[in-house]
Amino acid sequence: MKQVSYGTTAKPNNRARYAKHIIAVTSGKGGVGKSTVSVNLSIALAQLGHRVGLLDADVYGPDTPRMLQIENERVQWSDHNQMIPSENFGIKIMSVGLTTPTPDTPLVWRSSVAVSALMQFLEETAWGELDFLVIDMPPGTGDIQLTMAEELPITAAIIVTTPQQISLDDVSRAIMMLKETGIRIGGLVENMSYFIAPDTGAEYAIFGEGGGKYTATKYNIPLLGKVPLTMGIRKGSDRGRPSVALGSEDEKNYFRDIAKSLLVEIGID
Amino acid sequence: MKQVSYGTTAKPNNRARYAKHIIAVTSGKGGVGKSTVSVNLSIALAQLGHRVGLLDADVYGPDTPRMLQIENERVQWSDHNQMIPSENFGIKIMSVGLTTPTPDTPLVWRSSVAVSALMQFLEETAWGELDFLVIDMPPGTGDIQLTMAEELPITAAIIVTTPQQISLDDVSRAIMMLKETGIRIGGLVENMSYFIAPDTGAEYAIFGEGGGKYTATKYNIPLLGKVPLTMGIRKGSDRGRPSVALGSEDEKNYFRDIAKSLLVEIGID
């Protein structure tokens, strides 16, 4: 883990000291289920007794408010001029999606503005003391990712991918970036591993097979878990009913097992 | 269509005059099949007799080289110090993926650098005369999108989405951005509309139903077509065998119909 330096002013790697651990959920490519993993992992950690905040840093596609059934909430300010995070399913949430006038207001922001907004969410939100700050990162390897890597003492990154070759290409680039910036990779999550037909229970490897395991082996990082594509998980995301809280036992266990594997990886029991 | 201003020096909306028409393929969210649509639409336009160039502007996830079976090619320079685009399936292609030392080299670029690289691809590539320059845009509404909107006389934008609510939220933001920047929306493509089980032929609305039509109606834009999620199309993308060229007749027609609908929309027969 990175050493936090307790300087007198804001320094690189010195933000968000209210959180004991910072977990960055990343992906090479969008649309692989990064937000679904972020949301369900955060809730799973809370179910295990931890105090959890979820920062939705995907400023151009802030999907977590809908996934957590808080899409109609708007950010409130405290007497101390701090933003008050929303709460649901036992976690605190801050997202740019809670700050726009309507859900379809686009953020036509230069990246410098986006980075400033995220810094404000990190520093001017009344998170309280947290065991885990989970950050749902934007996909790719651009300004936001670079700045977060420089300014935050990230405990570990989790990389989400599908088994599809095209997604694995992009995830390889994300892994190389994390290695270059010195961020520890907590592990890989393979999402949409296979589709389970709701009528017959048949499994279809829509996006191919074995890609997650192959990539984990190639880059020597742990495979934290595999999550199938089920109608239940997809509807849960669309309807604000996170699977780890309100899904079937199987669906709950996919995400709980990932949370437990992560805790083992970073040495917390 | 936008008026091209023929000033004496580079001006906003004045680049890429070698192309009669510029089609920007966009999405709110990554992972919805934007590159698959870009690649197959470009080839479909070429099959209809047009001269087509494809610029892969998704600098952080350049997937088109693999989809077009040119992932092992590297960009060559002409005697006139211009980049020579790769060619396959009857189209010319330029992608940042053709410029990196290895396919998994990450582009850890500040967005200003990414924008400069794209401008170089636009201005210093030996495209020749084109009927269509198709641009596979990065997802979202950030710097690259803004700059392209400002600097290029875009004929029309095509927006790719899945029927999933979360994707539609993001696509709404992309539509609002295009409307604000005055770019004509050529239409919506609903991708992964349903999954066709290869053994039984049964159709599963994995990502929900009717989302594309609903969004097209809500924002008063044409629905250019719907493309199902089939193992054939997915494998075609991963293996560099574009469906419109090498897929089944059904798969070819999904994309050909979209190309024809687009030509009608922009008044070309």
Residue B186, pLDDT score: 97
Instruction: Check CB contact under 8 Å for B173 and A66.
Output: no
* Gap between the Cα atoms of B47 and B39, Å rounded: 12
Instruction: Check CB contact under 8 Å for B63 and A166.
Output: yes
- In angstroms, what CA-CA distances link B233 with A230, A233, B80, B212, B221? 20, 24, 39, 19, 26
pLDDT mean over B20-48: 95
Q: Which amino acid is at B137?
A: M
Q: Tell me the per-residue pLDDT of B131-182, one tens digit each, with 9 for 90 and over.
A: 999 999 988 777 888 889 889 999 999 999 999 988 888 888 889 889 888 9
pLDDT mean over A144-154: 90
What is the residue whose two structure tokens read 């890597």?
A149
Instruction: Check CB contact under 8 Å for B31 and A32.
Output: yes
* Gap between the Cα atoms of A197 and A176, Å rounded: 35
Regarding beta strands A156-161 and A19-27, do their DSSP bridges make them parallel or antiparallel, or are they unpaired?
A: parallel
Q: Tell me the per-residue pLDDT of B196-255, one tens digit each, with 9 for 90 and over.
A: 999 999 999 999 998 999 999 999 999 999 999 999 999 999 999 999 999 999 999 999
Regarding beta strands B76-77 and B19-27, do their DSSP bridges make them parallel or antiparallel, or are they unpaired?
A: unpaired
Nearest Cα to Cα of residue A138 among A57, A66, A68: A57
Confidence of residue A12 (pLDDT cuts 50, 70, 90): low
> Would you state the torsion angle of the CA atoms of residues B138, A156, A252, A197, taken in this order, to the nearest 10 degrees?
40
Nearest CA in chain A to B144: A110
* Gap between the Cα atoms of A7 and A63, Å rounded: 35
Nearest CA in chain A to B146: A108
Residue A105, pLDDT score: 80
Residues of chain A found within 8 Å of residue B167, distances taken between Cβ atoms: 31
Instruction: Check CB contact under 8 Å for B61 and A170.
Output: yes
* Gap between the Cα atoms of B77 and B126, Å rounded: 9
Task: Please state which architecture CATH assigns to domain B19-265.
Answer: 3-Layer(aba) Sandwich (3.40)
* Gap between the Cα atoms of B42 and B130, Å rounded: 12
Angle CA A166–B225–A27, to nearest 5: 25
- In angstroms, what CA-CA distances link B156 with B57, B91, B134, B222? 16, 19, 10, 12
DSSP bridge pairs for B23: B134, B156
Residue A4, pLDDT score: 34
Q: What is the ipTM of this complex?
A: 0.83
Give the number of other CB atoms < 10 A from CB of residue A107.
Answer: 20
Nearest CA in chain A to B165: A238
DSSP state of A42: H
Residue B3, pLDDT score: 35
Which member of B143, B206, B234 has the closest CB to residue A229? B206
Nearest CA in chain A to B166: A238
A140 to chain B, closest Cα gap in Å: 6
Mean pLDDT for chain B?
A: 90
Lowest mean pLDDT among A42-56, A141-155, A221-235: A141-155
Q: What are the residue ranges spanned by the domains of chain A? A: 19-265
Confidence of residue A71 (pLDDT cuts 50, 70, 90): very high
Nearest Cα to Cα of residue A141 among B103, B73, B58, B54: B58
Could you give the count of Cα atoms lying within 13 Å of B75 in the half-sphere of its Cβ?
21
Instruction: Check CB contact under 8 Å for B180 and A110.
Output: no
Residue B60, pLDDT score: 80
pLDDT higher than 90, residue B44: yes
pLDDT higher than 90, residue A141: no
